[in-house]
Structure 1
Amino acid sequence: MNTRSRYASRRTYLVPADLSELAGPFTGVVRLPVRLDWSEQRVYDLSDDSHVGLMYERVIREASHLDDLRAYLNRETLIRLWPHLYLPAQARKTWETRFRDLARAA
């Protein structure tokens, strides 16, 4: 097992109390702050599902405050894209344990 996968399996991932808290944008263009995305991209066109998926993966993996999840994730979009998101196993398990809608969507 490499160091990165050991870290991902031990890391704590934030999860909101309810998916209805996720009221982030579902149209337009979003620029993530460096604390969530330190890549050169950081700007996501929400009309492109590949952009949205990448943005959601980064926010779920890197959020250090619940407000990050609330500000950048949208409930309906998350449920729609959930089966296609590439997430650490522990993050996916944490979210699916809390939200059966996501487990069913997977």
Structure 2
Amino acid sequence: MYREKFRRRLPESLDELHGPSQGIVELPLHMASSGMTSYDLGKPRQRMGLYRTVLHEGLRDDLPRYLNQDLLLELWPVLRTLVGRSVRAVWENAFPELAARTRAAA
């Protein structure tokens, strides 16, 4: 059930992810379930928190707006341990380059 929810939200390609790679990112309320709406991409913990939140709560149109392909690839080896099995499985099955990043980092 959860996997299908995340699968429906996936972009066609990681090339669609053109979100910011620096600066402050303000999330809309539908993604701010934790209460935090502002993330500084210059701060590693906030950057990781933003990506975790968007992967869990973001809708299909949110992913290209808030995720950046290069940052996602860079963060994935650690991020995959924070997002849970369903998100991890859906994203790695759809985008083998993410799974490859994990193997390369090991």
Q: CA deviation at 1:55?
A: 0.5
- Structure 2 distance, partners of 1:27, 1:51, is 12
Deviation at 1:91, TM superposition (A): 0.8
Taking only aligned residues, the RMSD between alpha carbons, in angstroms, comes to: 1.0
Q: CA deviation at 1:77?
A: 0.0
Deviation, 1:67, is: 1.4
- Alpha-carbon distance in structure 1 between the residues aligned to 2:61 and 2:44: 23
Question: Which one has a larger percent helix, Structure 1 or Structure 2?
Answer: 2
Runs of 5+ consecutive residues of structure 1 not aligned to the other structure: 1-9
Distance of 1:39 and 1:95 partners within structure 2: 22
2:48 is aligned with 1:53: yes
Tell me the TM-score normalized by structure 1.
0.85
1:103 correspondence with 2:99: yes
Percent identity at matched positions?
Answer: 35
- The aligned residue for residue 76 of structure 1 is 70
Counterpart Cα distance in 2 of 1:63 and 1:102: 19
SS in structure 2 at match of 1:35: helix
- Residue 49 of structure 1, CA deviation: 1.7
User: Hey, what's the Cα distance between the residues in 1 that align with 2:100 and 2:61?
Assistant: 25
Pick one of 21, 32, 36 that aligns with 1:41. Answer: 36
- TM-score, length-scaled by structure 2: 0.85
Q: Structure 2: where are the runs of 5+ without partners? A: none
Query: Deviation digits for residues 79-100 of structure 1, max 9, x if unmatched?
Result: 0001111112011101001111
SS at structure 2 position matched to 1:38: coil
Which secondary structure does the structure 2 equivalent of 1:103 belong to?
helix
Residue 42 (structure 1) shift: 1.4
